[in-house]
Amino acid sequence: MVRFYTALTKEIDDPQAAAEEILEQLKPEENMLKNTIGIIYFYHEFAKMDIWQPFVSAMPFELAGCVSSYTGTNGQHGDAAVSVTMITSDDAWFVVRTIDGLEEKQRRQIYSEVNNLCDEMCTEEMPKLIMPFLSPLPHFSIDNLFHSIRMYNDSLLFFGMQTFNTSESENTNFVFGNGKMSVSKCVFVGFYGNIDPRFHIGSSIQSEKILGEEAVITESDGPLLKSVNGIPALNFFRKKGLLSSDNTGAGIMAISAHIIYSNGDKAGCAFLGIANNTEYVYAARSLEIGAKITFTYIEGDKILATTENVMREIKDMRRNDILIFTSVARALSLETNFFAELKKISSCAEVYEKETGTPLRYNAVYTGGEICPVFNDSGKYINMPHNYTFSVCSFN
Q: Is 204 contained in some domain?
A: no
Q: Is 383 contained in some domain?
A: no
Are 265 and 308 within one domain? no
Are 187 and 331 within one domain? yes
- 37/297 Cα distance (integer angstroms): 38
Are 257 and 355 within one domain? no
Are 113 and 237 within one domain? no
Q: Is 158 contained in some domain?
A: yes
Nearest CA-CA partner of 157 in 108, 124, 185, 195: 195
Q: Is 6 contained in some domain?
A: yes
Are 347 and 238 within one domain? no
Are 306 and 282 within one domain? no
DSSP per residue over 18-70, as a string? HHHHHHHHH-HHHH--SEEEEEEEE-HHHHHTTTHHHHHHH-SSEEEEEE-S-
Q: Is 151 contained in some domain?
A: yes
What b/e readout covers 116-143, taking b as 16+ CB neighbours within 10 angstroms? Answer: ebbeebeeeeebbbbbbbbbbbbbbbbb
- 244/267 Cα distance (integer angstroms): 25
- 6/107 Cα distance (integer angstroms): 36
Q: Is 161 contained in some domain?
A: yes
- 285/276 Cα distance (integer angstroms): 18
Please list the helix, strand and coil fractions of the chain in percent, rounded to the nearest 5, in that order.
25, 35, 35
Find the helix or strand (DSSP H, E) in which 355 lies.
helix 340-356
Q: What is the pLDDT along the chain (396 residues), one digit of tens a residue?
A: 899 999 999 998 899 999 999 999 999 999 999 999 999 999 999 988 778 999 999 999 999 999 998 999 988 998 999 999 999 999 999 999 999 999 999 999 999 999 999 999 999 899 999 999 999 888 888 888 888 887 777 788 999 999 988 776 678 899 999 999 999 999 999 999 999 999 999 876 655 566 667 889 999 887 888 899 999 888 888 887 766 555 455 556 666 777 888 777 777 777 777 777 788 887 777 788 888 888 776 666 788 999 999 999 999 999 999 999 998 888 877 777 889 999 999 999 999 999 999 999 999 999 988 999 988 777 889 888 888 889 999 999
45 is in which domain, residue-wise?
2-199+301-376
Residue 129 bridge partners (DSSP): 191
- 181/155 Cα distance (integer angstroms): 30
What is the domain count for the chain?
A: 2
Are 78 and 126 within one domain? yes
Are 153 and 292 within one domain? no
Amino acid 204 reads S
pLDDT for 243 equals: 67
